[in-house]
Structure 1
Amino acid sequence: MTDQPFMHDSKQRPIGVFDSGVGGISVLQHIHALLPNEQLLYVADSKYAPYGNKTPAEIQARCIEIADFLVNHHVKAIVVGCNTATAAAIDMMRERYALPIIGMEPAVKSAATASRNGIVGVLATTGTLKSAQFAGLLESYGRNVKIITQACVGLVECVERGELQADTTMQLIQQYCQPLLDEGADTIVLGCTHYPFVRALIEQVVGEEVSLIDTGAAVARQLQKRLAMLNLLVNDNKVGCVSFWTNSKADNARQVIESLWRRPAVINLL
C-alpha cells in the first residue's frame, strides 16, 4: 500500500516506536537525538519478549495488535524497533497500513565495509538469523567477507530485567563473543536492539581492536528522510513529549525503562 495524503494537522502527530520489550529504546534514543521536537510514543511488548523464539505468525499477530494501538493513537509513522519483527512482519504491515513504516536490519553491509580483515561477526536472536531477510543480506553483502553468526539465547531477557552489569549477563556475552573472536572477527554487528545496552560489557570482552556496529542511528536518519519527503516533520521548536507504554508483568518495569532512557519518563500500562 502506498502512502496516503495526510490531514493538515498530521505534522503534529506523534511517531510510534515499538519492540518486543525495552530494547527498541536504544533506537528511540537516536530518534529523539536527531528529531528532538517530535512527539514519540514507545510501546514495550515485554509480556511477549523475546520475539526471537516465536513463529513468524505469532510475531505478525503481535505486530498487528501493536500497530493498531499506535494507529488508534494517531501516529504519523511507525518504527519497528526490532530486527526479528522487521524480518517477520514489515512487508505485511506496509500492505496493511497507509503510513510510513521504518524497519531494522542487521548492519551487514556497514560491517562488511568497515572490516579490515574481511571477517565479520553477527550477534542476533535466533529468529533474526533464521529469517529470509537475513539470508538476503548475506547474499547481497556477504560475498566478499567471511560472516560468522551467533545466536544469543537469554541475552534479551537480561536486558529486560535491567541486569546490564550482572555476572550472568557477562558470562553470556563471553560465551557468545568468544567464537567470533576465535574466528578472527574484527567487526561485530549488534543485530538486536537490546544489545547496545550491554555494549560496555561487550567492549570489555572483545577489546578495543574490534569495531561494534549498531544500526539505531541509521534508522533515525531514514525516518527523518522519509518524513521530510512527505512534509511531515514537525515545525515546533519545543522539545517533543516522549511517552511509554508497557505490558510487562515485572515489578521493576518502570525502573528498567527509566534506567535505559536515562531520565524520568511518562510510563503507562497496556
Structure 2
Amino acid sequence: MSKQTAPIGVFDSGVGGISTLRTLAQALPNENFIFYGDSANAPYGEKSSEKVCVLASQVLDQLKHHQVKAVVIACNTATSAAKQQLMVANPNLPILGIEPALKQAVDAGRQHILVMATPLTISLPKYQAQVAKFQATTQIYSLPCPGLADTIELGHAGLPRIQALIDQLMADVKTQPIDAVVLGCTHYPFAADLIAAEFDHPVQIYTGYEGLAKNLVRHLTDQDLLRTAPNTDRQIDFYSSRNTPEELALYRHLYRYGLDQ
C-alpha cells in the first residue's frame, strides 16, 4: 500500500480510546483506522510510569505490523508517561497524544474547573506544571478517579456500577461552584452525561478531542500523508490484547452506540 492509503493507528489501555476514535473518524472521513485496546492490562492509570512505557511500546509494535502511517495515543496516561520515549524510539513515525483539555477550559474563561483523571496522570509532573501555570487566576480541582476507567471497561452492562462509583468519587466536589469539567481520561467521555448530571447546574465538558483531530490533520497534511480522495471502502478494524470475540464485539458496540444501549 502507499503511504497515503495506509491506516492510522489509535491505541488505548482499553475501550476508552474508542471515544477518541469516533471523533477522529468523523474528522477524517477518507482515512482507514486500526484501533488497538490493551484491555488485558487496563487500566494504565494505576500503574507506574515505567510499566506504562513498557506496555505502550509493546502496543506500538503491534500497530507497526499493520504498516500504520501515524499513531494516536488515545490515552492521557500513556501520553504523559510514554509519548516522548515512543517518539525518540520511532523518529520516522508521526506519534500524537491526547492531552487533558485544561488549557482549553481556561482559554474559554472558565473559573472553577474540575479535572477528572487517573491517579497516575494527576501525579505526573506534566499535569502538575499545567495546574501551576493556571492556578493563580483559576480555581482548579484535581480529582483522581481510581477504578473508574476499569469499571467503564464493562460497557453498558456495568452502568449501575459506573453510576455508583461516580456518585462516590464526586461526593465532595459536586457542591463546589464548578463551571467546567475536564475529562482527563479517554474512558470518561463514555460517562460524560452521568458526570454532568451530578451537578445541580449546567457545566461545560471538555475532552480535548477536537484539538487532537485538528493536530492530526495538520501533521498528515504537512507530511503529505493525508488521504484526500474519497474512500468508498473505508475500514475501521479493532484489535485487543484480550483477544476474545466478546471483547472485540464490545469495541464495535461502543464505537457505534457508546454506553447508551
> TM-score with structure 1 length normalisation?
0.89
Cα displacement (A) at 1:238: 1.6
Aligned AA (2:85): M
Whether 2:172 is the aligned partner of 1:168: answer no
**Contact 1:106/1:215 (<8 A) preserved:** yes
User: Separation in 1 of the partners of 2:136 and 2:94?
Assistant: 31
| Residue number in structure 1 paired with 2:105 | 111
* Structure 2 residue corresponding to 1:228, chosen from 221, 225, 247: 221
* Structure 1 residue corresponding to 2:193, chosen from 178, 192, 200: 200
User: Separation in 2 of the partners of 1:204 and 1:92?
Assistant: 38
Mean Cα deviation higher: 153-162 or 10-19? 153-162
Cα displacement (A) at 1:149: 0.8
Whether 2:120 is the aligned partner of 1:121: answer no
| Residue number in structure 2 paired with 1:45 | 38
**Contact 1:115/1:187 (<8 A) preserved:** no
| Residue number in structure 2 paired with 1:84 | 77
Q: After superposition, what is the alpha-carbon deviation per residue over 1:120-139, rounded to whole angstroms, capped at 9, x for unaligned?
A: 10111001001111112112
Whether 2:237 is the aligned partner of 1:255: answer no
Whether 2:171 is the aligned partner of 1:178: answer yes
* Structure 2 residue corresponding to 1:67, chosen from 55, 60, 63: 60
| Residue number in structure 1 paired with 2:209 | 216
Whether 2:235 is the aligned partner of 1:241: answer yes
User: Separation in 2 of the partners of 1:77 and 1:140?
Assistant: 31
User: Separation in 1 of the partners of 2:135 and 2:69?
Assistant: 35
Cα displacement (A) at 1:36: 1.1
Cα displacement (A) at 1:250: 6.6
Q: What SS does the corresponding residue of 1:12 show, helix, strand or coil?
A: coil
| Residue number in structure 1 paired with 2:126 | 133
Aligned AA (2:249): Q
**Contact 2:175/2:199 (<8 A) preserved:** no
Aligned AA (1:226): H
**Contact 2:196/2:202 (<8 A) preserved:** no
> For residues 87-98 of structure 1, what are the structure 2 equivalents within 5 Å?
87-97=80-90, 98=92
- Percent identity over the alignment is 33
Cα displacement (A) at 1:168: 1.9
**Contact 1:82/1:104 (<8 A) preserved:** yes
Mean Cα deviation higher: 154-163 or 204-213? 204-213
User: Separation in 2 of the partners of 1:125 and 1:38?
Assistant: 30
Whether 2:171 is the aligned partner of 1:142: answer no
> TM-score with structure 2 length normalisation?
0.92
| Residue number in structure 2 paired with 1:3 | none
Cα displacement (A) at 1:177: 2.6
Aligned AA (1:258): R
Whether 2:29 is the aligned partner of 1:36: answer yes
User: Separation in 2 of the partners of 1:165 and 1:49?
Assistant: 16
Mean Cα deviation higher: 80-89 or 197-206? 197-206
Q: After superposition, what is the alpha-carbon deviation per residue over 1:201-237, rounded to whole angstroms, capped at 9, x for unaligned?
A: 1122224511111112221111011111111101320
The alignment covers a number of residue pairs equal to 255
Mean Cα deviation higher: 83-92 or 163-172? 163-172
Question: Unaligned stretches of 5+ in structure 2?
Answer: none
Cα displacement (A) at 1:164: 6.6
User: Separation in 2 of the partners of 1:177 and 1:152?
Assistant: 9
RMSD over aligned Cα, in angstroms? 1.8
Aligned AA (1:102): L
Moved over 4 A (4+): none
**Contact 2:152/2:158 (<8 A) preserved:** no
Q: After superposition, what is the alpha-carbon deviation per residue over 1:130-183, rounded to whole angstroms, capped at 9, x for unaligned?
A: 111111211233331011111111111221111476222112112223322233
Cα displacement (A) at 1:115: 4.6
Q: Compared with structure 1, are the counterparts of its residues 129 and 243 closer, same or farther at alpha carbon in structure 2 (3 Å cutoff)?
A: same
